[in-house]
Structure formats: structure tokens, C-alpha cells
Amino acid sequence: MRRAIIAGNWKMHKTGPEAVQLAKELLNRVSDVSNIEIVVCPPFTALESVAWVLGEGPVKIGAQNMHWADEGAYTGEVAAKMLLTIGCRYVILGHSERRAHFGESNSIVNKKLKAALATSLVPIVCVGEKLGEREKGQTEAVVQGHVVGAFEGLSPADLQSVILAYEPVWAIGTGKTASPEQANEVHAFIRDLLKKSFGESLARDIRIQYGGSVKPENAASLLSQPEIDGALVGGASLDAESFSQIIKAVT
Ligand code: 13P
């Protein structure tokens, strides 16, 4: 049985004090939740202060990006060990906004994934097609390219801790959600692909989150799909009440 994981991607929202406030409000609402992995991913500037607020409680902390190098002359970038030393446990990699606005290719995502896996960070690797690609019937090809590209050169043993997030780009921030069946279909496709390339046990055990306009109103129907193991939530994670409602929709 795969453990459900609900993660909030705060993107470029919340100053330090605002992030601390949101983390406190969330903690108040989910202090009794124990069977679900809960993660929040604030911007870099708020990671340390939010980590202090969350402590050893039920909400864990992740970053939205990292660089692949251990350290070096990479102005403006952040390395895995910098994240780890301030309490980060997860890192989002290959988000479609990074692919679209910052030129992140599959090979960059692959380098970052390898760097994260060399540490104890748990990577959340995002994949998903654009609207035009779906309309042209290219969903599976695009998703396959993202998964194979990100996982290149890694073995099933390497990939054990990895989480995938299927985020159709056309559903992000648009209010348009993939229907539960549409999402489940792509998740099943990914699992089948992993089975062929990496074997049955990785395909069975890997967790695949859905992301794209997940809200309290649609969370239960998405999360009840057999192949959907959680959600990666953008907009609705910026409000403690709606994010906690999504978490509670798992049970
Ligand atoms: P929204 O939930 O705002 O559509 O964002 C989804 C997302 O990109 C999470 O990473």
C-alpha cells in the first residue's frame, strides 16, 4: 500500500513573516493527521523560518528547486547541502514553470535528480504535457520523454525514494482540472512504462502525485483514483484552510 503524500508548492508567494503565519495556521489544522505525508515548499527565503515553526511535527519541508553542483560559482543558485542543513527533506525538480521560463531540459532535470539522490533529499519530479501536445495526441510521448529523460542512468534501487508528480501544464493555475479518469489514465501509463523499464517492484511502489488546480472540491474524487497517490497543490496550498481540507480529503 502506497502512503499518500500531499505537498504544497507555494511558488513565488509569501514573504518570510507571511510564510511563518501560514505554516502556523496549517499546523493548527493538521496536528492530528498521522497517516499522510504532508509537505510544504515555501520560497528559499522562507525555508529556514518555516522549518523552525514546523519542527518535528507532521508537516515536512521541501524546496522548489536546487542546483546539481555541490557548490561553486553559480550566482543565484542553491545546493542540496544548503537545503539539508536548514531542515529540508524534499525538493521539487523539473516543474513545468522551470522548464518553460528557465529552460530546464530533461538532461538538466536528470543532473539535478542525480545530485538530490546523492543526498538524503526526497525528489519530487514533475512531468506533464502542454495543451497543444494533448490536443495533438502526444500526451503519452511527452510524459514518457520526461520520465525517461529524468531517470536516465539510474537504477531501480537508485529510484526507490523518488516521487513523481503528473502535472498537465494546461491544468496548472487555470482552474481546469484533468478529470479523475484522465489523470488516472496517465498515471497508469507511467506505471506501465516504469514496469517495462525498471521492473515490477519500482512500478508498484513509486508514488505518483497529481497536480493542476487541485482544490477542496475536487480533491476527494482525484485522490480516490487507484493510481493517484497524492497531490501537488499550487494556489490552494496558499490558504491553510483549503490546503488542510485537501489533506483531509485523503481519508
Ligand atoms: P495549481 O494548483 O495552482 O494549479 O498549481 C499546480 C502546481 O503547479 C503545483 O506544482
Confidence at 155, pLDDT banded by 50, 70, 90: very high
HSE value, Cβ hemisphere, 13 Å, CA-based, for 222 = 32
Residue 213 C-alpha cell reads as: 488546480
Catalytic status, residue 152:
no
pLDDT in tens, 23-68: 999 999 999 998 999 999 999 999 999 999 999 999 999 999 999 9
Query: Domains of the chain, with CATH numbers?
Result: 5-248 (3.20.20.70)
pLDDT in tens, 77-114: 999 999 999 999 999 999 999 999 999 999 999 999 99
DSSP 40-89: EE--HHHHHHHHHHHTTSSEEEEES---SSSSSS-TT---HHHHHHTT--
Nearest to 177 by CA among 226, 248, 128: 128
pLDDT in tens, 160-169: 999 999 999 9
Q: Which one of 67, 95, 146, 187 is the catalytic residue?
A: 95
pTM above 0.95, yes or no: yes
Confidence at 1, pLDDT banded by 50, 70, 90: confident
Confidence at 177, pLDDT banded by 50, 70, 90: confident
Ligand 1 within 6 A of CB of 172: yes
Chain CA centroid to CA 60, Å: 13
Ligand 1 within 6 A of CB of 64: no
Q: Which one of 104, 133, 167, 227 is the catalytic residue?
A: 167
